[in-house]
Chains A and B, each alone.
Chain A
Amino acid sequence: QVQLQESGPGLVKPSETLSLTCTVSGGSISSYYWSWIRQPPGKGLEWIGYIYYSGSTNYNPSLKSRVTISVDTSKNQFSLKLSSVTAADTAVYYCARDPGFAVVAATGVTTDYYYGMDVWGQGTTVTVSS
């Protein structure tokens, strides 16, 4: 079965860039939506953004100016970069898969069809501190 594993530094200094990678095993990354979600200590889930296997991205508007998500199909990985971090970015970061698909109409309009995030990584704790 498909498994996801987050990796990256557990400690990042304020104002620097947080970088995480999610490795997909047991299946191909060349389909579906691949998301990053975070959860600050004692708080709820916050969606950061996703990348469709084709490379198109969608980000949470509240984080959009600081977020970049990319995919490396040759390594079966996708990555998160969050710039200019502060203590408020301290959280458990999860990667997850949504086995949905996108349909591009003849007009060029894309419609996304989601199925929910059915596979999650175990999460990795990132602390922002000097």
Chain B
Amino acid sequence: SYELTQPPSVSVSPGQTARITCSADALPKQYAYWYQQKPGQAPVLVIYKDSERPSGIPERFSGSSSGTTVTLTISGVQAEDEADYYCQSADSSGTYPVVFGGGTKLTVL
């Protein structure tokens, strides 16, 4: 199997910067995508192709990639950003074209 590794939880105070990482061997060759999921709701795409932001997503959400790790950065965190965040990518062989990370719970203190 192929796995994307995320920290289970990240905590920040309002106005600070939150960074959520996702690590996997194929990330230098495969794009990553990030989703935000609030309780009882469907996930929402917040970053695609490592660093592109869909229309309607606030500018405080950004993505970056370095080697085998991609990072979702939320600048100036607001209370409404408290949610679960999932990365998605693929392996390099095509066996696993869609894989989700285990998810990171972002807590706004």
Q: Which residues of A contact B (CB under 8 A)?
A: 35, 37, 44-47, 50, 58, 60-62, 94, 112, 114-118, 120-123
Contact = CB atoms under 8 A, between A and B. Distances in A.
Interface residues of B, number: 26
12 contacts: A35-B98, A44-B84, A44-B102, A45-B43, A45-B103, A47-B88, A47-B98, A47-B100, A114-B90, A114-B97, A116-B88, A118-B45
B65 to A, nearest CB: 14
> Dominant SS at the A interface?
loop
Nearest to A92: B42
Interface of B: 1, 31, 33, 35, 37, 42-45, 47-49, 54, 84, 86, 88, 90, 95-103
A61 B97 CA distance: 10
Given A62-B1, A115-B48, A116-B88, A47 B33 contact: no
Nearest to B43: A120
